[in-house]
Amino acid sequence: MMITQHWLTDAASRAMDAILARLDLERGARPYFWVDYQTQPPQAQHSYWDTCDIAGRFVDGLALARLMTGRQDALAAEAMLRHFLWAQQDASDGLFYNPDDEKSETNAEMSKYIPAAGVLTSGRHVDLFCQRAPLLAMTTLLQLGDDTMRPRLEKMVRGLAAIALHHGDEWRFPAYRWAQTMKPEWSAPVNVPEKWIGYRYALLTALARYAEVSRDPAAIDLALGLARHYMRHGDVPPDGHYRANTHSGGVLPVTVGIARLGIAFEQADMVAWAHNVYKWTRANMPEFGFLPDGLGMDGFWAGTCETCALADFVHLAVLLSEAGGGDYWDDIEKVTRNQLLENQYCDRDAIRSTFPGIADDVLAMLHGGFECAAHPNELFIYVGAEGCCIGGGMRALYLAWRAAIDTRDGETRVRYGISRTTAAVEVVGHEPWAGRIDVTARQSNRVAIRLPSYVNTAHVAATLDGQMVDLPIIDRYAVFDSLTPGQTASVQYPLPAESRHYHVAGNAYEAEWLGHTVMAMHPDGGRYPIYQRGDWLKACLHNEDTEAMSPSAAKSPSTAQPVVDTPMLW
Ligand SMILES: [Zn+2]
């Protein structure tokens, strides 16, 4: 049986539709951050986060989605969104300002953690967390060849340095916001977000990447100084055992930046520090990718998973593994196949039955979007859907898709069996239908296929154009020395089935694994159950003609897989 399907590109195409659906074209493509479920049927609302943070994530997300899917539609809407984002950048200091538009509607979800804290949004100001996404978007576009980004980025970096304080080898920001007139509550360590140190340094994810790509000396100096300050005075104790909100609290976005700086500028202490944070995070989450939002904390958020944090986690795993500081390819594959894909809302009928009477335009904002507060077995348990996670989910998909195949110096390394075609190879991953990865050469090259951690390498069968071959397996890679165009290398191995038990926030769960894929989660979730993959797999196995789609996407059309040469965007 031959089943080829492209989980990640299909998911990216759905996410792209969700991003486009959230653009309010009557307000210059201002995105909707918030879909509120407290009203029935749910309503889209504009929010504090729309203007810089979400617009930045969506500019970045659309660029990544086009790379993955090859889609060229909706260019006018994308251009309008970019125009909207650039309008938030101040021409004199290069910083992105949240406007003075505090009203009950635009204040939606300013602080989901302490709604009663009355965190004011009044007065035009710079929110440091909200610099991260525009900086990421501009760096992505710069790497894609848009040189008009360069002066914007240079100005922004100097604007950031102008509002930071310099002491010895450190740079720091005195508060999480900045304006000509500072308000005392912006630096009082009482409520969130002012008591989260990482919130104001989360922009390091993007600043580190810009510093690495541009080699702009001002960016390098500022990024390294902010990183040193956070490592010494931030939310993470020396042993790495932090307790914090992983994404919104900024810990993981900052750590991604520190890892990158350490690798790019040969700062071994930074790589080691980031590695400790990764290991602690990994030790505090079930292996199917359920990364708790409030890691090590109590309350609602300790038992939910935000997709944005999965993007940070995958990003960190890729950086550390690429640099040879760890081998986390199995982590990336497990997170991607499981919680990341399951966090996406893919079933229109289930959305409609959860929210009877939902308008078509609001449904389109949800469908293809990603959950901000999942349980291990269900979605839609929070009071609304945040737009950030569409950008986060898109970024996680891109990172996992891009990292799966690496071609350089005449050698292609296939890190896990995700189906994808590049200029050098076409990879078809057969899991969960079979333990098998096929790689067809499109150019002459040496091909090394990594075997998942559950595989006993003594039980691997390797073939070249269907003929059994005896191969060296080096560090879990089956190495095919030279493939010519059209030749197909294949590895096959037993796919183990196993039940494993987990405890998340005081609740017990049982996951049925097949290789690295969770096929079912018990007990079944209530509102929008996830991991309902068993019946679908059986149907596929009994009907070879079944159109191949991911379990999550059983009701969505499959998209074609484009052949694209993808630049390194991390
Ligand atoms: Zn999010």
pLDDT in tens, 231-277: 999 999 999 999 999 999 999 999 999 999 999 999 999 999 999 99
Residue 100: band (very low, low, confident or very high) from pLDDT cuts 50, 70, 90: confident
Q: How far is the CA of 471 from the centre of ligand 1 (A)?
A: 44
Mean pLDDT of the chain: 92
Q: How far is the CA of 373 from the centre of ligand 1 (A)?
A: 9
C-alpha to C-alpha distance for 250 and 240, rounded to whole angstroms: 15
Q: How far is the CA of 54 from the centre of ligand 1 (A)?
A: 10
- φ/ψ of residue 414, rounded to 5: -105, 110
Residues 6+ apart with CB under 8 A from 143: 213, 567, 568, 569
Q: How far is the CA of 389 from the centre of ligand 1 (A)?
A: 4
C-alpha to C-alpha distance for 445 and 473, rounded to whole angstroms: 17
Q: How far is the CA of 469 from the centre of ligand 1 (A)?
A: 47
**Of 289, 282, 201, 291, the residue nearest 249 (C-alpha):** 201
Residue 3: band (very low, low, confident or very high) from pLDDT cuts 50, 70, 90: very low
pLDDT, residue 315, reads 98
What would the mean pLDDT of 51-64 be, rounded to a whole number?
98
Indicate whether 554 pLDDT > 70.
no
Task: Report residue 415 as tokens.
Answer: 């890190």
pLDDT tens-digit profile of 487-528? 999 999 999 999 999 999 999 999 999 999 999 999 999 999
Q: How far is the CA of 539 from the centre of ligand 1 (A)?
A: 34
Listed by start position, the domains of the chain span 7-347+359-405
C-alpha to C-alpha distance for 359 and 365, rounded to whole angstroms: 10
Q: How far is the CA of 96 from the centre of ligand 1 (A)?
A: 20
Residue 61: band (very low, low, confident or very high) from pLDDT cuts 50, 70, 90: very high
Q: How far is the CA of 92 from the centre of ligand 1 (A)?
A: 30
Indicate whether 556 pLDDT > 60.
no
Higher pLDDT, 1 or 422: 422
What would the mean pLDDT of 322-331 be, rounded to a whole number?
92
Q: How far is the CA of 108 from the centre of ligand 1 (A)?
A: 15
pLDDT, residue 553, reads 38
Task: Report residue 299 as tokens.
Answer: 């309350």
Q: How far is the CA of 410 from the centre of ligand 1 (A)?
A: 39
- Helix then strand then coil, in percent of the chain rounded to 5, is 40, 20, 40
Q: How far is the CA of 386 from the centre of ligand 1 (A)?
A: 6
CB atoms closer than 10 angstroms to residue 218:
14
Q: How far is the CA of 18 from the centre of ligand 1 (A)?
A: 14
Task: Report residue 26 as tokens.
Answer: 């009557």
Percentage of residues of the chain with pLDDT beyond 70: 91
pLDDT, residue 562, reads 53
**Of 481, 480, 482, 495, the residue nearest 438 (C-alpha):** 480
Q: How far is the CA of 392 from the centre of ligand 1 (A)?
A: 6
Q: How far is the CA of 293 from the centre of ligand 1 (A)?
A: 10
Q: How far is the CA of 63 from the centre of ligand 1 (A)?
A: 18
pLDDT, residue 570, reads 47
> Which of 75-84, 395-404, 540-549 has the lowest average pLDDT?
540-549
The strand order across the sheet containing 420-421 reads 420-421, 425-429, 436-441, 488-492, 461-464, 467-469
Q: How far is the CA of 370 from the centre of ligand 1 (A)?
A: 8
Q: How far is the CA of 306 from the centre of ligand 1 (A)?
A: 6
Q: How far is the CA of 291 from the centre of ligand 1 (A)?
A: 12
Percentage of residues of the chain with pLDDT beyond 90: 84
> Which of 103-107, 256-260, 323-327, 397-401 has the lowest average pLDDT?
103-107
Residue tagged 């790019």 (tokens):
264
SS3 49: coil
C-alpha to C-alpha distance for 61 and 44, rounded to whole angstroms: 20
Q: How far is the CA of 426 from the centre of ligand 1 (A)?
A: 32
Q: How far is the CA of 312 from the centre of ligand 1 (A)?
A: 11
In degrees, rounded to 5, the angle at the alpha carbon of residue 2 between the alpha carbons of residues 335 and 549 is 45
Task: Report residue 423 as tokens.
Answer: 């200029």
**Of 201, 502, 552, the residue nearest 371 (C-alpha):** 552
Domain at 7-347+359-405: CATH code: 1.50.10.10
Q: How far is the CA of 259 from the centre of ligand 1 (A)?
A: 21
Q: How far is the CA of 35 from the centre of ligand 1 (A)?
A: 13
Which secondary-structure segment (H or E) carries 407? strand 405-408
pLDDT, residue 178, reads 96
C-alpha to C-alpha distance for 245 and 3, rounded to whole angstroms: 40
| DSSP string for residues in 465-511 | TTEEE---EETTEEEEEEE-TT-EEEEE----EEEEEEEETTEEEEE
pLDDT, residue 118, reads 64
Q: How far is the CA of 331 from the centre of ligand 1 (A)?
A: 20
Residues 6+ apart with CB under 8 A from 319: 256, 259, 260, 263, 274, 570
Residue 535: band (very low, low, confident or very high) from pLDDT cuts 50, 70, 90: confident
C-alpha to C-alpha distance for 222 and 214, rounded to whole angstroms: 13
Residue tagged 């080691």 (tokens):
272
pLDDT, residue 548, reads 42
Q: How far is the CA of 167 from the centre of ligand 1 (A)?
A: 33
What would the mean pLDDT of 527-542 be, rounded to a whole number?
79
Indicate whether 568 pLDDT > 70.
no
Indicate whether 2 pLDDT > 60.
no
What would the mean pLDDT of 563-569 be, rounded to a whole number?
53
β-pairing verdict for 517-522 and 294-295: unpaired
Q: How far is the CA of 502 from the centre of ligand 1 (A)?
A: 24
Query: pTM of this prediction?
Result: 0.94
Q: How far is the CA of 428 from the centre of ligand 1 (A)?
A: 31
CB atoms closer than 10 angstroms to residue 532:
20
Residues 6+ apart with CB under 8 A from 211: 219, 220, 222, 223, 224, 261, 264, 265
pLDDT, residue 424, reads 95
Helices 307-322 and 251-264 pack at an angle, to 10 degrees, of 20
Q: How far is the CA of 248 from the centre of ligand 1 (A)?
A: 8
Q: How far is the CA of 76 from the centre of ligand 1 (A)?
A: 26
Residue 105: band (very low, low, confident or very high) from pLDDT cuts 50, 70, 90: low
Q: Kindly list the distances between the CA atom of residue 36 and the CA atoms of 42, 375, 386, in Å, as whole numbers in the listed order.
A: 5, 19, 9
Q: How far is the CA of 177 from the centre of ligand 1 (A)?
A: 20
Q: How far is the CA of 36 from the centre of ligand 1 (A)?
A: 15
pLDDT tens-digit profile of 347-373? 999 999 999 999 999 999 999 999 999
Residue 555: band (very low, low, confident or very high) from pLDDT cuts 50, 70, 90: very low
Residue 534: band (very low, low, confident or very high) from pLDDT cuts 50, 70, 90: confident
User: Please, are residues 436 and 492 in contact by the beta-carbon 8 Å criterion?
Assistant: yes
